[in-house]
Amino acid sequence: MSKSIIVNLTTTIIITIIITIMVNSNLKNKRRLIYPSYAKINLFLEILGHLPDNFHQIETLLCSVSLFDTIKYTLTKKKDLKKWIYLNDNISENNLIYKVADYLYNQYKPDWGIEIQLIKRIPIAAGLGGGSSNAATTLLALNYLWELGLSIDDLTSIASIFGSDIPYFLYGGTAFATNRGEVIQPLEDFNLDNILLVNPNIMISSSEAYQIASIPTENERRHCRISQDVKWFFNRLEAQVRIDYPLVNEILNDLIKLGASTALMSGSGPTCFGVFEDKFKMHKCEAYFKEKGYWTKLVRTITREEYQNVFQA
């Protein structure tokens, strides 16, 4: 064999090996995703009236914050229909992650099963949208892994079947939501730092918070200002929760006493947040609530770019 044939043969073998490694690693990358699933806070929430099916028409201003669950998705060879999804202890069939995955599986019959692991950090039924965020993240992950080719509009329609807050989490960042909260208008991102979240380790369901809230008259109604000036922050659900859950009232009062520029309940509560100008006061305030045994977390807002950067196209 001539020297040039040997050189050509060796080059071809090396190129083949490199391509094989690249294809395999691409497949491997494609088989598994690890996504953060961010929480939200509501900076403004007003009730406009009643909608059919016991829902309320609302206007709300939402921001993603730097508190997140982690969800790991791994493609599996499916064995039979009942075994297509493998879940860790945190996920039962009542979990929104399971519900949206089951829906996609039945609608689109993908070639693969899925194993999902959830690391939960966002308090549950806390007004931070943790379950809704997990559901939206799962829609985005499975659309990619199962190669479903669904558009953002398709995903939004599916998301709104499972919860009013879920469509927002397909976008993230700062957004305005209307109707029952599922109609999303992405906005230029706010940039708020020094936010202290406080949760007194109790749960309040969205349905209860809406049920006990009073609907404002035309005169009482607040209008949303798209502004990160804290003087415009407002939550209609807060007043009655403060009365029915004195712990929430106490937290909001203490946040102000301890130096927050504003303190508000997020969504349906009970998590409250204070926005601080003075970091030192914020840390002292956090220590105060920790001492009481409450859950606390210091966060900042997350831009839509930062939020969406992690998701595969």
Ligand X SMILES: C[C@](O)(CO)[C@H](O)COP(=O)(O)OP(=O)(O)OC[C@H]1O[C@@H](n2ccc(N)nc2=O)[C@H](O)[C@@H]1O
Binding residues for ligand ATP, rule: CB under 6 A, are 95-97, 124-132, 134, 165, 206, 267-268
Minimum Å gap between C-beta 61 and ligand ATP is: 14
Question: Which of ligand ATP, ligand X, none interacts with 60 (beta carbon under 5 to 8 A by kind)?
Answer: ligand X
What does the alpha-carbon distance between residue 119 and residue 71 come to, in Å, rounded to a whole number? 6
Which is nearest to 98 in space by CA: 87, 89, 110, 82?
A: 87
Distance CA 215, CA 49 (A): 6
Tracing tokens 């028409």 back to the chain, one arrives at: 57
Which partner from the list ligand X, ligand ATP, none does 207 bind, CB cut-off 5 to 8 Å by kind?
ligand X
Distance of closest approach, residue 100 Cβ to ligand ATP, in angstroms = 10
Binding mask 123-142 for ligand X (x = CB under 6 A): ------x--x----------
What angle is formed at CA 184 by the lines to CA 152 and CA 262, rounded to 5 degrees?
A: 135
Residue 41 beta carbon to ligand X: minimum distance, rounded to whole angstroms: 9
Contact (Cβ atoms closer than 8 angstroms) between residue 232 and residue 203: no
Instruction: Name which of ligand ATP, ligand X, none residue 126 binds, using a CB cut-off of 5 to 8 Å depending on partner kind.
Output: ligand ATP
Closest CA to 141 of 260, 18, 12, 35: 35
End-to-end CA, the chain? 48
CB-nearest residue to ligand ATP: 131
For the chain, what is the radius of gyration of the CA atoms? 23
Q: Does 60 bind ligand X (CB under 6 A)?
A: yes
Q: Which two tokens stand for residue 48?
A: 């406009």
Q: Which of 28, 30, 40, 193 is catalytic?
A: 40
Which of ligand ATP, ligand X, none does 210 bind, CB closer than 5 to 8 A by kind?
Answer: ligand X
The residue among 138 and 258 lying less far from ligand ATP, judged by its C-beta, is: 138
8 A C-beta contact, residue 191 and residue 228: yes
Burial group, residue 240, by CB count within 10 angstroms (0-12, 13-18, 19+): middle
Q: Is 165 a catalytic residue?
A: yes
Let me know if 80 is a catalytic residue: no
Longest dimension (CA), the chain: 94
Residue 268 found at the interface with ligand X (CB under 6 A)? yes
Q: Of residues 135-174, which lie at the interface with ligand X (CB under 6 A)?
A: 163-165
How far is residue 234 CA from its own chain's centroid?
A: 21
CB of 244 to ligand X, least distance (A): 16
Catalytic residue among 165, 189, 254, 297: 165
Distance in Å, CB of 182 to ligand X, minimum: 8
Active-site amino acid positions: 40, 165
Q: Which residues bind ligand X (CB under 6 A)?
A: 42, 45, 54-56, 58, 60, 129, 132, 163-165, 180-181, 206-207, 210, 267-268
